[in-house]
Structure 1
């Protein structure tokens, strides 16, 4: 009976060590992402806790799937959970919390924004237009632009946005620079 309890304790100890190692490896990246997306440290901890539960269920159920980069895998889960939480919070926000202001179709402000979008290149402009202006679903964008899958299309969109962000950052621009 004592050997069985010792075996159980050692399993629990191994599991705890496993989670601590994952936490040390992956939590800083998750916390940075959540902070960049406007979340708090507590929200990052909540998201990461949920991420660990999902990951643990995945690795402990059935035949093992090979996961080459645990950090990247955990960050991907956390990003998806954060996006779901963000969408849910936006949907539950009352309309009177928004300031509705009609902006002119074209003008100096729109011209500035277009200039920085164009720095990303023609293909990026077309891709971002499909997502944000035409509101095409990711499956349609994937087929339209010839990507191998929806993940590839999403990554391409992210890279295009990063090009624009980097240009804006290099020019030390702020939100106020785009407002008349």
Structure 2
């Protein structure tokens, strides 16, 4: 919280990546709602891969699961529309519980959904879904990005679980598993 800028915050994440991975593992110990149970298993495997030193594999698996969560729970929306829906200023009318348990955690995916066209621009160095999948390189698949990926996957798993629980006020697409 005392880091002066985004780069300083990223350095802290990198310096504490092992602790963060253990925190992600702890956050995923509790059972989750049956609609996300299968993907939660994959998130746990991504965290375990990270802890075992397989950062590239952890990042790739976590990114694929996050993408699957988004495609399922924002059924039919493109990535631009997803970013718009996940941006917090679009959530002002949500109940406070929903804001803290679902909207804010899911809003962490906005940076993950950054647009990048490989034929128009050089590969950016920041962590993103699009670059991880379509611009795979050692510059993109690395320990820091893997840490961000498992953090995002664990966060999305817990947010979706919270909203799917009884009394969680799940939006229609989330409650139906995106159907």
TM-score w.r.t. the length of structure 2 is: 0.31
Higher relative contact order (CA closer than 8 Å, sequence separation 6+): 2
TM-score w.r.t. the length of structure 1 is: 0.31
Higher helix share: 1
Larger Rg: 1
